[in-house]
Structure 1
């Protein structure tokens, strides 16, 4: 078990930096250099680590595994053709999220003509309580599961608009269930608004689809009317795709 934890800590560290040597990794993780070297050598033999200019970096085998994992999600395959269509209609960012272990991950999307790098967001984790897709998913989960997520991850404030009170969150989730969509009005990032809808198929919460953009373009009225209606229509297409996947 300790060896597994050591291996994962090395992977996590290399995922945060743009390459590092054995001495740096060992010092940062408080490990023996021989231990670090042995793990790096083993991972290198399997393509998970490469050495460039005397530094070790994560290898492309991680990308291969990640692609394989994502392709197993039927919601990804069913939503992929819908995302481009939504962007063409809105010219705003479109994101697909799914949930695991109490958080959401962006597994596909399109940033369009913005300064946001879509590649940096795809594969990234987010808290559920301050994300429109996350709240949309939470609204479809049993209260006991939502409570467990709060106990495990808390309700940290990302901005001054983030919901940090559990009672307020449950009230918000009830409102989402009634109206069918979730809002994020600068709760995750200042100046960014988003609206998301849950994607449920045969009783299973598969994920959520959201449209996001600058607050001056994606204002409350547009979220609650034009964009929500587009998301409802897109969800119908996705459900049809899932039925024939």
Structure 2
């Protein structure tokens, strides 16, 4: 169980890999029994049971009537990681103001492991739940936040991401062509904002702008998403101007 195998990036500890595979499966399924986990992961039931008991003893899993589920220790870890990010602290109050002013969902995203990560979001009184959750990882080309972040990278970096991640489709409006994506990236760089038009989820449109450091480097993206029938082209223009004003305030707080 504790042996090491050479993998694509060097030595891997099998037991650790198996433990995190179990965590990832529970993240998707919720409470699950030992046998179902073993079948889903193609692992011996006895091995899965040992890992589950160990993770439970360490406080990372809870055993209930339906099997095992992840504990709130992960919420504690995620909250601490996010709390150490200066851009989140700088943006939080302005995001609250934006959600109150627009009534819509306001989100902030960063790049990690070539994905857009939803660092935080807050819903205004008119917002709909489009099932984006804090900590969600998605392909960069799926969302306005992601495309804003993508546009901050060099063309060579974007090419490498496409080579590794591909351009999978979320909806029929998702950009899946390399040349089309680069054209969109060029437009974002020139305009200073990105628009997502039902590219991640049908019926949802969003707009985003970059948050920059003192040298002009993008450290995060700030955006508003809403139903397409409310986020019309004229409304997009108004929200982009509002986002840019808030981004200036956030960037000043972040830098100074």
Matched, 1:199 2:211: yes
- Higher RCO structure, 1 or 2 (CA under 8 Å, sep 6+): 1
- Normalising by structure 1, we get a TM-score of 0.94
Residue 179 of structure 1: CA displacement? 0.8
CA distance, structure 2, for counterparts of residue 46 and residue 94 of structure 1? 36
CA distance, structure 2, for counterparts of residue 209 and residue 27 of structure 1? 41
CA distance, structure 1, for counterparts of residue 34 and residue 142 of structure 2? 38
Residue of structure 2 in register with 1:231 after alignment: 243
The structure 2 residue matched to 1:85, chosen from 82, 97, 103, is: 97
Residue 205 of structure 1: CA displacement? 2.4
Contact 2:31 2:66 in 1 (8 A): no
Report the RMSD for the aligned CA atoms in angstroms. Answer: 1.5
Residue of structure 2 in register with 1:211 after alignment: 224
Residue of structure 2 in register with 1:243 after alignment: 255
Return 5+ residue gaps in structure 2 as ranges: 1-12
Contact 1:133 1:197 in 2 (8 A): yes
Contact 1:196 1:211 in 2 (8 A): yes
Query: What is the number of equivalent residue pairs in this alignment?
Result: 242
CA displacement, residues 143-171 of structure 1 (integer Å, 9 cap, x when unaligned) = 11111111111111212221111111111
Contact 2:32 2:69 in 1 (8 A): yes
- Over 3 Å counting, the alpha-carbon distance change for 1:126 and 1:50 in structure 2 is same
Residue 221 of structure 1: CA displacement? 2.3
CA displacement, residues 181-239 of structure 1 (integer Å, 9 cap, x when unaligned) = 0011111111111110011213442110011111111012221x211110110101101
Q: Secondary structure at the match of 1:68?
A: helix
- Normalising by structure 2, we get a TM-score of 0.90
Residue 117 of structure 1: CA displacement? 6.2
CA displacement, residues 49-74 of structure 1 (integer Å, 9 cap, x when unaligned) = 11112611111111111111111211
Q: Secondary structure at the match of 2:140?
A: coil
Return structure 1 stretches of 4+ with deviation > 4 angstroms: none
User: Which residues of 2 match residues 62-77 of structure 1 at below 5 A?
Assistant: 62-77=74-89
Return 5+ residue gaps in structure 1 as ranges: none
CA distance, structure 2, for counterparts of residue 231 and residue 117 of structure 1? 20
Q: Secondary structure at the match of 1:121?
A: coil
Contact 2:103 2:123 in 1 (8 A): no
Residue of structure 2 in register with 1:60 after alignment: 72
Matched, 1:163 2:175: yes
